[in-house]
Chains A and B, each alone.
Chain A
């Protein structure tokens, strides 16, 4: 059975095309592009909320997009136990909707950060099945507000429920700090309790093709398909 997926485009999304290519190339299945004003969503296995600056990130990153017409459908999709992946701005939108815990605040150094980063998986879920324990993935980040924050109570919940999917780490020979943006416990991506919704700051859709510097981003789609 072929894997079906969709990417939502908001005004200001700028990684929607990248996400569409990522899905087309790796799933080989049907891929839909959905405009934020739509009120219905085709029945698909995976929905991606892509990176970018939805509505200019005015007010607060992801805040306005979380009130878009399509969001009701996205929530229904997640409640149906199907996969939902928010990348970068998509992660921010997921926390604004309330599908994921915590918030993404400004990077520790108060500067945009666009570079390769290194992550490894923390707790197992369907998005990281194909990734080995302690395997270091090289995937680019590009964000101004990627510093994951939550209170201690929530952090304990995230740990107890094994909701932390990825954490930043140091790469071999790399000059990069272990925790690039100051996130609590170096968290790079979390899931919901049911583990069918993942939000992550790194961009796997920029690390999958032969000509990319790394192909580690494939592993996420491969995990879902396997």
Chain B
């Protein structure tokens, strides 16, 4: 086999020689395709595996950790919650509408493959600077794609984040998360149960779309690649997915199938290989039986990533019943093979075995690298000059920065109330949905602080996890577990590899402390173009619950006259990265001081105070303090005709970031009770002011309430148009 062909398939020559030596024969082109699909980063985590193994993945509520289509946690009674986040970064840059739409489609399939009905989606999207036409095009396409898919299939989008930063100019990020509800005794796994079980194909016909999608996702971009790679982007059909979801859920609840796998990245290859590996069995598949949209070669069928397809194993005796149910839903269905005892993966086409490989060499012998990494150098201390900073300018800096403005333009394109169980819609600190027919609610939030992570990947990751944690706590949601999406540049650069290793380490530290295990996740590497790497962007999706929907907090002001209290500890001005960056005090990444060490015990202590006060019904509204400090948190809390009057020693304090920071609104009559409670717990607080009618006042200086709120609410759309 010639070297060029091997390299084109994304394999190194060393990797190829391992395979060649094991088999002691030449590979067919189809077999080479299989290794190309299964041995890339996207499928086998060859760079990150060594480090991911160190993450905490289990505790008393984890039913299923990483390794299945989605993680599942226990929510008492017979309720389980399945959730996962996944990236569709590269496809969304090449073709934003279809790239992001199929990202949503893929993650929803991961959820209902587990037997869970999806009940919410979230997304974390990042773009370059809005000044370029390209960013506007990407933003419009991505938001349209996410909306179109989710709206059509009818799953509410309940939150997420949307940020703009030049680091994503040539590599926008699209991470989609889905949450589903499953009855604990009805969870489905990908492991087949019996030898002789029929392998069946369910869903859309196979076409040419997405061939080599997974290996493309594991590659570095150059600018001219874009047009050439467009055919590798899959095209989604949410209507078909809706039928597929209803059909599959009906099959599962009727007990007609044994196991199921989504044909996602690397299509039929990866789903069948994983099935064989999980069950420690073999698979035989006749490719001539695969429903096709157009004539395809065996090689193309194996690598197609056509959407809305499932692979399932059923007992022979159920064949007729399965066909009947799927006919009702107008879904293609074909028996294409069977589970064997050979522990080999065999694909046949035109009466010829085109692939005949032991499962072991594909899965167990997949490469695992221990790549070289560097620890970032210690930062020098620098004192910044704040003497020329004016309060008016600070406010203007926030109100002209997309990252601080109300993002209704994005959220309004998503259906957030379909299914009738939405409690908190996008734009609040966390999205919240009710579990249908119960009083239980699920809250979820996605977060990342890439600037923190570039300054200090270990501490930065702790801050990121803490931010998700605070977002849930602010709503009186008890944080339970994490899914993560590690977006990084090329790990072949030891500096980038260092960011990956240290942030995983930070994730571990925080997850152990908060008792929020990582139950699912995804890794997206090589997010760099023309050798410009993205900032480390390991996105956290945190899920929590409250058993009583009447106990959750709002993030919006409740009543004029109520007091505003601040909990937590302010970061020093010199060590408040977003303050320095967004107020245009520091410009270059090397200027920033190191992050303060985040005290996770302190985070927990303050969080517990918020939860207890919420249960005592002492908190009227609450928001966490993140980028933009108290001022930004107060803007987000504004509601109806309510504004705020505050007094602080130094106005710059209002824009600093916090550890364990929360703004809470309390009634005057509860003031004594709340403050003595906090004193007793040893939690410091700061009374900074009260809610007033139609006003914004800082240290006796009055600002134009209507002008500020108008800009906050409406300027996002103006800037991006």
B is bound to A: yes
- Which A residues contact B (CB, under 8 angstroms)? 11-12, 14-15, 17-18, 21-22, 51-53, 55-58, 111-115, 140, 142, 144, 172-173, 175, 203, 205-206, 209, 211-212
Report which residue of A17, A115, A212 has the largest number of chain B beta carbons within 10 angstroms of its beta carbon.
A115
Number of interface residues, chain B, beta carbon within 8 A: 35
Taking a contact as CB atoms under 8 Å apart, the answer to whether A11 and B330 are in contact is: yes
When A21-B420, A140-B417, A205-B420 are in contact, do A14 and B154 touch as well, CB less than 8 Å?
A: yes
CA distance A172 to B641 in the complex (A): 9
26 contacts between A and B (CB under 8 A): A11-B243, A12-B239, A14-B153, A14-B418, A15-B154, A53-B242, A56-B152, A56-B240, A57-B152, A111-B413, A112-B151, A112-B415, A113-B413, A114-B414, A142-B415, A142-B417, A142-B418, A144-B151, A175-B408, A203-B417, A205-B420, A206-B418, A206-B422, A211-B423, A211-B434, A211-B549
When A11-B330, A211-B549 are in contact, do A56 and B237 touch as well, CB less than 8 Å?
A: yes
Rounded to whole Å, the gap between the CB of B424 and the closest CB of chain A is 10
- Of chain B, the residue at the smallest CB distance from A207 is B417
CA distance A15 to B421 in the complex (A): 12
Rounded to whole Å, the gap between the CB of A22 and the closest CB of chain B is 8
CA distance A172 to B640 in the complex (A): 8
CA distance A211 to B639 in the complex (A): 19
CA distance A94 to B237 in the complex (A): 25
CA distance A115 to B434 in the complex (A): 19
- Of chain A, the residue at the smallest CB distance from B409 is A111
By Cβ-Cβ distance, the 8 closest A-B pairs, closest first, are A14-B154, A56-B239, A18-B420, A173-B640, A142-B415, A114-B415, A53-B152, A140-B417
Report which residue of B242, B415, B416, B549 has the largest number of chain A beta carbons within 10 angstroms of its beta carbon.
B415
Chain A residues with CB below 8 A from B416, complex form: 114
CA distance A140 to B641 in the complex (A): 21
Chain A residues with CB below 8 A from B408, complex form: 115, 175
Taking a contact as CB atoms under 8 Å apart, the answer to whether B412 and A114 are in contact is: yes
Taking a contact as CB atoms under 8 Å apart, the answer to whether B419 and A17 are in contact is: yes
Taking a contact as CB atoms under 8 Å apart, the answer to whether A175 and B418 are in contact is: no
User: How many residue pairs between the two chains, A and B, have CB atoms under 8 Å in the bound complex?
Assistant: 89
- Of chain B, the residue at the smallest CB distance from A16 is B154
With A11-B239, A140-B417, A206-B422 already in contact, 20 other A-B pairs whose C-beta atoms are closer than 8 Å = A12-B152, A12-B243, A17-B420, A18-B418, A53-B152, A53-B242, A55-B239, A56-B238, A56-B240, A57-B239, A58-B239, A112-B144, A113-B412, A113-B413, A114-B415, A173-B639, A173-B640, A175-B713, A205-B420, A211-B549
- Of chain B, the residue at the smallest CB distance from A54 is B239
CA distance A75 to B417 in the complex (A): 30
B685 close to chain A: CB less than 8 A: no
Report which residue of A14, A53, A144, A172 has the largest number of chain B beta carbons within 10 angstroms of its beta carbon.
A14
Report which residue of A22, A140, A211 has the largest number of chain B beta carbons within 10 angstroms of its beta carbon.
A211
B148 close to chain A: CB less than 8 A: yes
Rounded to whole Å, the gap between the CB of A129 and the closest CB of chain B is 24
Chain A residues with CB below 8 A from B16, complex form: none
Taking a contact as CB atoms under 8 Å apart, the answer to whether A18 and B419 are in contact is: yes
Interface residues of B in 142-193 (CB under 8 A from A): 144, 147-148, 151-154
B329 close to chain A: CB less than 8 A: yes
Partner of B413, one of A55, A112, A209: A112
Taking a contact as CB atoms under 8 Å apart, the answer to whether A173 and B641 are in contact is: yes
Chain B residues with CB below 8 A from A144, complex form: 151
Chain A residues with CB below 8 A from B412, complex form: 111-115
Report which residue of B330, B411, B419 has the largest number of chain A beta carbons within 10 angstroms of its beta carbon.
B419
Chain B residues with CB below 8 A from A11, complex form: 239, 242-243, 329-330
- Of chain B, the residue at the smallest CB distance from A20 is B420
B128-145 vs A: 1/0 string, CB under 8 Å? 000000000000000010
CA distance A173 to B693 in the complex (A): 12
